Amino acid sequence: MPILDSRLPLAAAPMAGGPSTIALARAVAQAGGFPFLAGGYQSPDALAEQIAQARSIGSDFGVNLFASASAEIDDDAFEAFVDEIAEEAARYDIVLSPEPVSDDDQLGDKVAMLVEMPVPVVSFTFGLPGASALRALQSVGTTVLATVTTPDEARQAVDSGVNGLVVQGSSAGGHSATFDPTHDPRPLDTAELVRRVKHEIEAPVIAAGGVDGPDAVARLLEAGAEAVSVGTLLLRTDEAGTSVAHRRALADPDFTETAITRVFTGRPARALRNGFINRHHSAQITAYPAVHHLTRSLRRAAAAEGDTDRLHLWAGTGWRSARADSAVNVIRWLAGDE
């Protein structure tokens, strides 16, 4: 029995902050892929509502949660960063608060909701679920996955008792799933990371990161992954909830590379390199989620204004192959089905 119950060995990666929608989940399932909902940033009630809608898709689906330990906050470094980006915010008449805000994304309430209203699969990123959360989810029949970025994290995850791994390479778009946000992700090809994890650890693996077409999918399956999770290549699809500015940037030839940066949230994440990254890259701020909360109003304003110079333009290294098309066609293309 494969770890993800879908016709094709392809999953729609969870993408919090807008891109993952019910329409996207439906289209991916229709094409034969396995959809994930993004539970991060949402309230438990909003997530429960999305799950209720997902049940009408008629196929299995997964829900992704953030399991992040808050980073230690160096108050002086945080204040210095607030000062550094104050001018960027002032363009939108936003005054940034120097008081760091921290939270756990309501993880406990979300797990409790998922125990009460079980779903087929729950995946965690940024860390592992606690032992009682893991047991509670598994006791209601849920398959639990942990996202890992190194063989060592894979070992910790399997030892904790999860059912399988999402192995994320450093070419992935968006946040690195690293358990330690102060750690700089080592550049490592996803297929190579999958091979290393499979060599050392016996567990089902879903590979994620850097897919730019069907050949990349085939390579990851050959490396030992049971399925391949795709994020960036779905960002421009009709069904994704990606903002207009983000879509435009992904198709804009003026963006020539991606970079891993902490400047938007305090956690390493891969994005199209823009002015905000270039201007603040040296800040080396690591306070997640305080930096996420700090820059949120600025990023919202930038998105509303179409200001791609100040927006977090999450993108994996395969971004140039992201097509403006139906997700049904993108999944079929990746599977070699069209």
Ligand X SMILES: Cc1cc2nc3c(=O)[nH]c(=O)nc-3n(C[C@H](O)[C@H](O)[C@H](O)COP(=O)(O)O)c2cc1C
Choose between 143 and 168: whose C-beta lies nearer to ligand X: 168
Instruction: Give the whole-angstrom CA distance, residue 168 versus residue 179.
Output: 12
Among 127, 210, 266, 289, binds ligand X (CB under 6 A): 210
Site for ligand X in 60-119 (CB under 6 A): 64
Site for ligand X in 317-336 (CB under 6 A): 318
Q: How far is the CB of 315 from ligand X (least distance, A)?
A: 6
Q: Is 13 in the site for ligand X (CB under 6 A)?
A: yes
Q: How many residues make contact with ligand X (CB under 6 A)? A: 29
Q: Is 316 in the site for ligand X (CB under 6 A)?
A: yes
Q: Transcribe 163-208 into DSSP letters.
A: SEEEEE-TT-SEE---S-TTSPPPP--HHHHHHHHHHH--S-EEEE
Choose between 266 and 318: whose C-beta lies nearer to ligand X: 318
Q: How far is the CB of 165 from ligand X (least distance, A)?
A: 12
Binding segment for ligand X (CB under 6 A), chosen from 26-34, 72-80, 295-303, 311-319, is: 311-319
Among 62, 127, 173, 268, binds ligand X (CB under 6 A): 173
User: Residues 222-261: x/- map of binding to ligand X (CB under 6 A)?
Assistant: -------xxxx-----------------------------
Q: Is 127 in the site for ligand X (CB under 6 A)?
A: no
Q: Which whole-number Å values give the CA distances from 163 to 5, 67, 137, in the listed order?
A: 14, 16, 11
In this structure, which long-range contacts are made by residues 219-225, counting pairs with CB atoms below 8 Å and at least 24 apart in sequence? 219/191, 220/190, 220/191, 220/194, 221/9, 222/191, 223/191, 223/192, 223/194, 223/195, 223/198, 224/194, 224/195, 224/198, 225/9, 225/167, 225/194
Q: Which whole-number Å values give the CA distances from 297 to 65, 277, 329, 332, in the listed order?
A: 22, 17, 35, 37
Which two tokens mark 210? Answer: 């850097």
Site for ligand X in 179-208 (CB under 6 A): 208
Residues that bind ligand X (CB under 6 A): 13-17, 19, 38, 40, 64, 125, 147, 168, 171-175, 177, 208-211, 229-232, 314, 316, 318
